[in-house]
Structure 1
Amino acid sequence: MTWFRALLAAGLSVIMPGAGHVLVRDWLRAALFAGLFLSVSAVFLPIDQLSAVGPITSVSDVNAYADVMAEETDVIAQFFLSFIALFAAIDATFRALGHSPGGTGGAEGPTCPECGKEIDEDLQFCHWCTTRLEPAEPESETNDV
């Protein structure tokens, strides 16, 4: 299930950077990647030529948009947009697999075995990824005399 979730997060991030982070419930990163991608799109894409094409009502309109994008978008814009999408996909994949950038040394309490985030000891599930948690077994006392 974890690999499927990671691949789905990567695929969503390729389609729209930030969407894969929404899947893994990392809201801040989702907003940052989506905002970065939309900002770069607003700066580099030929918005005036695209708006002149008009609304998409048929397949020929989609082809017209594709033609404008291919002809009017320079290599630098394609590089920036591709880099953001690729970086978002890689980051979402690692986050879905449970690899956090800070490592696991920062958590003071118990952590979820699935997502690695800190959890309450009293809960029976992780409130971040909804993984069911096994109850903690009390430590047996040994009498070494």
Structure 2
Amino acid sequence: MTWFRALLAAGLSVIMPGAGHVLVRDWLRAAVFAGLFFIASALFLPIDQIAAAGPITSYDGVLEQATIMAEETDAMAQFLLSFIALFAAIDATVRALGYPPGSDTKTEGLMCPECGKEIDGDLEFCHWCTTRLDPESADEETRQA
């Protein structure tokens, strides 16, 4: 299930940077990647020419706007937008697999089986990702630590 979630997060981030982070409930990173992508799009895409082509009402309208974007956008802008999408996909994949940045493998408390963050043993759920914790899994986590 974790690999499926990671691949889904990566795919969503390629389509729209930040969407994969929404899947893994990392709201701040989702906002940062989506904002970065929208700002870069506004700065580098020929929005005035795309808007002049008119609204998309058919398949031909989609092709016309895609052709304008491909022909009027320089290679550096295409590289920048692709880089943002790729970086967002890699980051969402790593976050979905449960490797939070700056964490070490030696933790003294209980770990959430879903997000991998340290949790309070008195709670019945993870206060980070809201995953319900079974008493049996909490005992198993204690034995593994």
- Please indicate the TM-score interval, normalised by the length of the shorter structure: 0.7 to 0.9
Q: 1:63 and 1:76, CA in 2 relative to 1: closer, same or farther beyond 3 A?
A: same
| 1:125 correspondence with 2:106 | no
| 1:36 correspondence with 2:36 | yes
In structure 2, the residue matched to 1:24 is 24
Q: 1:27 and 1:106, CA in 2 relative to 1: closer, same or farther beyond 3 A?
A: farther
Matched letter for residue 80 of structure 1 = L
Shift of 1:117: 1.7
In structure 1, the residue matched to 2:56 is 56
| 1:92 correspondence with 2:92 | yes
What SS does the corresponding residue of 1:35 show, helix, strand or coil? helix
Aligned-partner Cα distance in 2 for 1:25–1:122:
23
| 1:15 correspondence with 2:15 | yes
Aligned-partner Cα distance in 1 for 2:118–2:103:
12
Unaligned runs of 5+ in 1: 140-145
In structure 2, the residue matched to 1:73 is 73
Post-superposition, which runs of at least 4 consecutive aligned residues in structure 1 deviate over 3 A?
104-109, 127-132
CA deviation map 1:42-65 (0-9, x unaligned): 000001101001111110100001
Aligned-partner Cα distance in 1 for 2:46–2:40:
11
* More helix, by proportion: 2
Contact 1:25 1:128 survives alignment (8 Å): no
Aligned length: 138
Shift of 1:106: 9.1
Matched letter for residue 64 of structure 1 = E
In structure 2, the residue matched to 1:2 is 2
TM-score (norm 2): 0.86
Contact 1:104 1:116 survives alignment (8 Å): no
TM-score (norm 1): 0.86
In structure 1, the residue matched to 2:46 is 46
Contact 1:8 1:20 survives alignment (8 Å): yes
Aligned-partner Cα distance in 2 for 1:26–1:93:
12
